[in-house]
Amino acid sequence: MVMAATPQLQAIAQKTCGKMFEYYAEFLVAGTYHRGDSASAPVSFLIAPLPANLLFGAKVDPNDEQILIDATDMATLVNPQPGDYLVETESGLRRDVITAHLDMTRTIWTIVGRRVFA
C-alpha cells in the first residue's frame, strides 16, 4: 500500500519546508544541478552528514553527504538519478548523485551525494 499525503498535509509540509530553508538560509549552498550535458538548473541546497544506515545494503564512503533540495528548485529536472551531479557555484566542488528520494509530501528531495575531488 502506497501512502499519499492529503492536500492539507502537503500544504502544511510545503510551508514548513519553505520555513526550514528560510531559517537555514545562511547555510544554503548555491550551485547548479546537472543532468549530463543535456540539462541543468540553478539550485540552493543544504548539506548534512550521511547516517550510515541511510543507504540500505550499500557502503557509505567518507565523501558521502546528505543533500536537501527544495523540490520547486528541481521542477525542470524530474527524478534525480545516478549520473547526475551538483556543482557548487563558489568552490566548483562536484557531488555525484548516488541516489535520490522525494519525500511523501513532494516538497524536499533528499539526495545522497559523493564529493568528487578532481
Predicted pLDDT of residue 106: 82
Dump the DSSP string for 48-76.
EEPPTTSSTTSPPPTTEEEEEEEGGGGTT
Residue 11 lies in a domain: yes
Residue 12 located in a structural domain: yes
Question: How many domains is the chain built from?
Answer: 1
Q: Which domain holds residue 100?
A: 7-116
23 domain-assigned: yes
Does 51 fall in a domain?
Answer: yes
Q: pLDDT of 13-27, one tens digit each? A: 777 766 777 777 788
pLDDT 10s digits, 69-116: 988 888 888 889 999 999 999 999 999 999 899 987 788 899 999 999
Is 1 within the bounds of a domain? no
Residue 2 placed within a domain: no
CATH of the domain at 103: 2.40.10
d(CA 118, CA 106): 33
In a domain, 54, yes or no: yes
